[in-house]
Amino acid sequence: METALLIISILLIIIVLLQSGKAEGAAQIISGGSSDLFTKRKERGSELFISRLTFALGMAFFLICFVSMFIK
């Protein structure tokens, strides 16, 4: 159980680092530049896959932690 948790943790860290920055325009808000921060962007292709994989790994991490809390 601990091995699976370790593997999922490492994969989750790697996948989160691969995601593109969605708040890249936050600095422009502070500096007064034109910003597209609040516009709707639809994820497509690899962004959609990485986003769904991040969600799945996060849920797996949560479930393994939750189950291991009751087993011990």
Could you read off the pLDDT of 17-48 as tens digits, one per residue? 988 765 555 555 566 555 555 566 677 888 88
Judge whether 72 lies within some domain. yes
Residue 1 lies in a domain: yes
Assessment of whether the complete model's pTM goes beyond 0.85 = no
Integer Cα distance of 59 and 41 in angstroms: 24
At 22 the pLDDT is 59
Rounded distance between C-alpha atoms, residue 70 and residue 2, angstroms: 14
Report whether pLDDT(6) > 90. Answer: yes
At residue 57, the pLDDT reads 96
**How many domains does the chain divide into?**
1
What domain range includes position 8?
1-17+45-72
pLDDT digits 0-9 by tens, 10-19: 999 999 998 8
Residue type, 43: E
Burial class (CB in 10 A: 0-12, 13-18, 19+), 47: middle
What pLDDT band is residue 65 in, cutting at 50, 70 and 90?
very high
Q: What amino acid occupies position 49? A: F
